[in-house]
Amino acid sequence: MKEYEVIWEIFNKCPRNQMRDVFVEEVQIEDPEAYVQKKFEGKDISYEKTVLADGTQVFDILTSQIKQRCSFTEI
């Protein structure tokens, strides 16, 4: 298993409020994509995965018309 720092951002839908909820945790997992699928299990989601030059895996997620982002950086 690999250890990742996970940053989960929930973007605010209000046009005048640019703040977002941000949660940070460390997890030991094999597959970040499976983690995202399990986190939103039972919900209608769509997402796009991007791998940055430093290896960080970023998932831009849309569920219930709310934009979210999970970023996985290996520790």
At 15-64, the pLDDT tens digits run: 776 677 899 999 999 999 999 999 999 899 999 999 999 999 999 999 98
pTM attached to this predicted model? 0.88
Q: What is d(CA 54, CA 68) in angstroms, rounded to the nearest whole number? A: 21
| Structural contact between residues 49 and 34, judged by C-beta atoms closer than 8 angstroms | no
**Domain extent at residue 33:** 2-74
CA dihedral 32, 7, 48, 20 (to 10 degrees): 160
Query: Domain total for the chain?
Result: 1
The pLDDT of residue 18 is 67
CA distance 25 to 5: 6
Q: How many residues does the chain have?
A: 75
